[in-house]
Amino acid sequence: MDLSHDFCHIIRALFKYVERSYGYLPYYADRTTEEISRTIDKIIDTFLQVIPRYMFNVKIFTDANFKIFTDASIQVANIQEYNDIVIMRSAIYYQCLLLNTNFSTQHLIKEDPIYGVIVETCPTLSSYLFIQLILNIRCEDILVVSLVHIPLDLCVEILDLIITSINDLEASEAIRLIFLLIYNVYYKCLQLHLGTISEQDVGECIHKLTEQFYTLLNLLIVKFDSFYTLSTTKFLHLGIFTKITLRFIKKCMHSKIEDFSMHRDLKPLFRITYGICNGQWNYHHIIPADKMRSIIIQFDQQLANLLQNVLERVDHFKFMIWANIMDNENVIISVQRAVIIECHYFMKFIKQNNFFEINDHLFHCLQQFVGPRKTEQSLLTLEEICRDITEGRMQQDAMRELLKRYKKWDLSILDFINKKIELLKLQDFTTIVEYLHYKFAYLHTKADKYRLYISVLKILLRQSYGMNHTVLLYVSRHFDDNNLAFLYDEECFSRFLNSIHDLNNFSCRILLIFILLNPKDALRMLIVREIDCEFQSNVLFQHMRWLLPYYSVRIKHYNILIYVLKDVLLHGRWIWRPHFRIFMDNLLFYKMITADDLMNELYIPYLIGDYIDQYNLDILLLHIQNVLIQRKLCTPKTKYLLLSMALVRTLSLLRRNMTFSNIAVHKWIQLITDILQYLLHTSNILTTQHQEWLLLFINVEPLDIQKVQLADTMEIVNEYEERCYTVHQRLRTNPRCHPKLRNFVQSFNLKREDFIRHMILSCVEKEYHTFAFELTFMFCEYFGWPSQIMAYETVMRITAEAILIVLTYIERFPEHKFFMLLISIMEFCQTTATIMTTDHYVAIRRILLQTLSSISHAVDKTVYSTMYSYLLQRIENVNPYVQLTHYFFELKKWLFVYLYGCRPIMSMENRIYKYSNDNLSEKNIIMMYKTYIFIHECLKICHFESHCYFDQILHTISKTFPEN
């Protein structure tokens, strides 16, 4: 429920924003006018900026029964295998959307004892917008599964909307969705006799569901006809459609005897009810089994009619053409052969299970495909095929038949093929490697595997050309399920790469063998060696012409190059070498990767990951600046909004991270600021609306608001107040708050000076100069300071307090923080003296010297003690009557000499300065540090998630102040 709760907060903010922009969402129930249609498109586009980050393209039905038209030309968009955790998380998010949609029974769902609390937790969607959103984020599989478990009347209502929306989909996607709907409606009807929930008349709902089933069957044929007419490979697609229809109907029949196991974990999530009364579910109904049995018989008859309709479309001409078209799933056989096999197994299933009756005409159609005898009886034995080849009878056809039956080979067949290698065509060598892959899954001893490998290797090495093509095809098919890695030796491959200076024909073949045995590791090692300056072999770029196709092979969402780079850069916690930028520039130069993919798949995920190395971050930000701003290589395909979110998030993380040097953080913040300035202001790539989204959905530190949109120091202080006062007040007064936390927050009051002090401790040198200047010269009256000189003195005092906190808890602040604050106040003093009249010069200098002296007692307890004493003596001896520029130059020069250029003298064991509670000023420092820690924790809280982080605040307080 935590996931559901968090996601509800996110969509609440999103839906509120959309309602403010476009009006009441339930109003958009259809596309009756062009204006409404355009507005709906804008609403969906807005949703797609956020929701796909949480759920996108989730496929549950990934087995062969539901893979429609999977050839490269019209592949359904990137069907990927999702693990159970991702599916469950996406289903929880889907449920939040479902429960906040304006269905006719939404008021009843509120009575559900488990999920009713989620209803109306955010602005309500229209049912039409809900369906459009689910289809656009490609989560129709979850929608279809939910239909099996939700109340019957709600299921019928959603089905009506889906059927009207199917025409908006691409034909291949529509056909897949229709297959899924038919299958799940069929299964739901099988289960209705066990009981269902419905406010509406159950008989009427079942009648509607039956009509919808028939509508889907008719729509399936209509959609395929329109797709078939426009297809350039219509005969292949007719064959695929015929295969899928046979499998699909067999799958429906299987559901009579098998459990809905693939969705068992989702069942409790979608078991929505209309409440409970006296221990009974409201509106619960039991449908007689006989009634449902008669409906299933009608469904079976309609499925038989569908199959007959499809088979009758295949005339003799099309059937013969199939013999010359390779199957899309098993390239070793033709489409004709694949359809015959499906028909054979379908008939076998029907004979074994007597619950699907087919008429004589349909049986005759199936029999025509299979032939008068069983397929197995019409085949020659392997020995007979080899004899025909040896005796010269139909050698090419016999060799084709021998290759098709590779799963029955043994070593003697391999020896025979090696002797008749002249009969093999280029694509036939792929079958040899497929045999090796197949057998390795069943052989158990190393000796057997090695003997088989040697026999196959002898054949491969006899190729006069084309070995590269053979290995490439194998890699494209078995990159993720390679069985040959047992023979791969990483050390041997490394020695081989070290030994070669140029790839000749012999060494190329050796390299190909290593890639064949373990494409993941071999291709990865080539990349790593190119990045690593220690091993600049340049094999990759010198022989890019034939190595590039390997890295271009697509594996699910990515090609192998991106797959390897993601593994190396994102998952290995690897320190990038100096050669990394050169390597990436080479990839861009040779067009092995686009700048868009570089940003979207590598740099953005790295920035939003949970691990950032300071050396890597330096290289990454410099390269982003170079590619994006200086060379302008990115196109609209780059996810600029996500890049901006990642950069803003990194900004806030850098401010909260106390392990990085203050000097390094200053450099990175400046780089990120330059990139954001380009994205948000200079180039106009992102709009004002995008800026609002950044502030809405990313937990931006107040200091970083000005990086996203124009904001002055006063607005930043107001942001501090808005985010901290509310939490502070809630913790002080909430009776459910932990006593230790409540006592802690009641021990201090938040003032504006506390926020200014936090700003000073969190900012870098350049930002400090801006804040101090605006506080002194622009907003002094707003803070109640009667004059600019008084404002200057107050800012210096608050800065001195910040320095005292750093000195007191020096281990808890970044390296060089003390030095940075000192150089910052000197820069600020110089600016103040330049702007104010000369009669204030003495006061400015006096306040500076007082500030520096006021912290000396704290410095005395640190490693800077001796050097700081020398520094004060030097500063006091600088002639105050010299030119202003020269005076401050001398001050900063001695600051660098004593505190940055010299090694501290005091031993490290005295580095932390500890106060006693007897001294009032010391108590004040401790109290100011408490407010700093509290503000620091408050800023980690999102605007709409404050309740979730009270435990985190308590944990931090307990760890930082154990005595409280």
State residue 70's pLDDT score.
45
Q: What pLDDT was estimated at residue 534?
A: 55
- Mean pLDDT of all residues belonging to the chain: 86
Two structure tokens written together for 743: 């006592």
| Predicted pLDDT at 663 | 87
Predicted local distance difference test score (pLDDT) of residue 147: 94
CA pair distance 100, 19, nearest whole angstrom: 14
Q: Count of domains in the chain?
A: 3
The yes-or-no verdict on residue 620 having pLDDT over 70 is: yes
618 and 761 within one domain = no
pLDDT of residue 719 exceeding 50: yes
Q: Which residue has the higher pLDDT, 901 or 296?
A: 296
Report pTM. 0.69
Q: 3-class SS at 787?
A: coil
Q: 186 to each of 91, 243, 259, 887, how far by Cα in Å? A: 22, 20, 13, 88
Higher pLDDT residue, 17 or 540? 17
Q: Which residues contact 958 (CB under 8 A, 6 or more apart)?
A: 740, 964
Q: Does residue 815 form part of some domain? A: yes
Domain-located, residue 444: no
pLDDT of residue 378: 45
- Residues 528-537, mean pLDDT to the nearest whole number: 69
Of 80-94, 289-303, 576-590, the range with the lowest mean pLDDT is 80-94
Q: How many CB atoms lie within 10 A of CB 202?
A: 18
Give me the helix-helix angle, 490-499 and 505-517, nearest 10°: 160
List phi, psi (to 5°) of 112: -60, 130
Residue among 706, 604, 586 nearest 645 (CA):
604
**What pLDDT is attached to residue 63?**
61
Query: Binning pLDDT at 50, 70 and 90, where does residue 75 land?
Result: very low
Residue type at 734 in one-letter notation: N
| 7 — pLDDT class (breaks 50, 70, 90) | confident
**Residue 863 pLDDT greater than 60, yes or no:** yes
Higher pLDDT, 188 or 546: 188
Q: Are 554 and 562 in contact (CB under 8 A)?
A: no
Domain boundary pick from 281, 316, 334: 281
Residues 628 and 717 both lie in one domain: no
Q: How far is CA 879 from the centre of its chain?
A: 61
Which DSSP helix (H) or strand (E) runs through 554?
strand 554-555
Residue 197 pairs with which residues in a beta bridge? 284
If pLDDT is split at 50, 70 and 90, which confidence band does 961 have?
confident
Instruction: Give the pLDDT of residue 230.
Output: 63
Decide if 338 contacts 244 (C-beta within 8 A).
no
| Residue 608 pLDDT | 87
- Give the confidence band of 929 by pLDDT, cuts at 50, 70, 90: very high
**Is residue 149, in this structure, part of any structural domain at all?**
yes
pLDDT given for residue 80 in this prediction: 38
Tens digit of pLDDT for each residue in 516-529? Answer: 999 999 999 998 88
The identity of residue 490, as a single letter, is E
Whether 160 and 21 map to the same domain: the answer is: yes
For residue 964, is pLDDT > 60? no
- Closest alpha carbon to 54 in 99, 88, 78, 100: 88
Give the CA radius of gyration of the chain: 36
Domain boundary among 249, 281, 313: 281
Domain boundary among 252, 281, 310: 281
- Residue 67's SS3 state is coil
Identify whether 161 is part of a domain: yes
Assess whether 700 and 717 both reside in one domain: no
* Residue 229 pLDDT > 80: no
**Residue 128 resides in a domain:** yes
Q: Residue 652 pLDDT more than 80?
A: yes
In this prediction, residue 77 carries a pLDDT of 34
Residue 84 pLDDT class (50, 70, 90 cuts): confident
Write down the pLDDT at residue 682.
83
Same domain, 16 and 164: yes
Residue-level pLDDT at 943: 52
Residue with tokens 């390239």, as numbered in its chain:
331
Report the pLDDT value the prediction gives residue 963, as an integer from 0 to 100. 64
Q: Same structural domain for residues 720 and 669?
A: no
In residues, how long is the chain?
964
pLDDT of amino acid 896: 87
Cα–Cα distance between 701 and 281 in angstroms, integer?
49
User: Does residue 948 surpass a pLDDT of 80?
Assistant: no
Query: Do the domain assignments include residue 720?
Result: yes
CB within 8 Å of 802: residues ≥ 6 apart = 757, 760, 761, 821
Among the listed residues 724, 653, 779, the one whose alpha carbon sits nearest the alpha carbon of residue 932: 724
Q: What is the pLDDT of residues 194-206, one digit of tens each?
A: 999 999 999 999 9
pLDDT for res 898: 82
pLDDT in tens, 134-161: 999 999 999 999 999 999 999 999 999 9
Helix (H), strand (E) at residue 559: strand 558-559
Query: What b/e readout covers 705-717, taking b as 16+ CB neighbours within 10 angstroms?
Result: bbbbeebebeebb
Tell me, yes or no, whether 780 and 819 share the same domain: yes
Residues 736-754 have a mean pLDDT of 88
So what's the pLDDT on residue 76? 34
3-state secondary structure of 558: strand
For residue 845, the Cα-to-chain-centroid distance in whole angstroms is: 55
Least confident segment among 55-64, 74-83, 360-369, 792-801: 74-83
pLDDT of residue 917: 37
Percent of the chain at pLDDT exceeding 70: 90
pLDDT at 342 exceeding the cut of 60: yes
Q: For residue range 290-323, list pLDDT tens digits in order.
A: 999 999 999 999 999 999 999 999 988 898 999 8
Rounded CA-CA distance 791/182 in Å is: 74
Residues 6+ apart with CB under 8 A from 924: none
Q: Is it the case that residue 414 has pLDDT exceeding 50? A: yes
**Bigger pLDDT: 932 or 506?**
932
Q: Which amino acid is at 424?
A: L
Does 665 lie in the same domain as 756? no
Q: Kindly state whether residues 699 and 782 are assigned to the same domain.
A: no
Angle of helix 505-517 relative to helix 519-531, nearest 10 degrees? 120
Claim to verify: residue 54 and residue 8 sit in the same structural domain: yes
Residue 820 resides in a domain: yes
One domain for residues 724 and 782: yes
Over residues 321-337, the pLDDT tens digits come to 998 888 877 666 788 88
Residue 931 in this model has a pLDDT that exceeds 80:
yes
User: Does position 839 have pLDDT exceeding 60, yes or no?
Assistant: yes
Residue 39 belongs to domain spanning: 1-220+261-281
On whether residue 109 sits in a domain, the answer given is yes
Regarding whether 786 and 724 lie in a shared domain, the answer is yes
Reported confidence tier of residue 64, pLDDT bands at 50, 70, 90: low
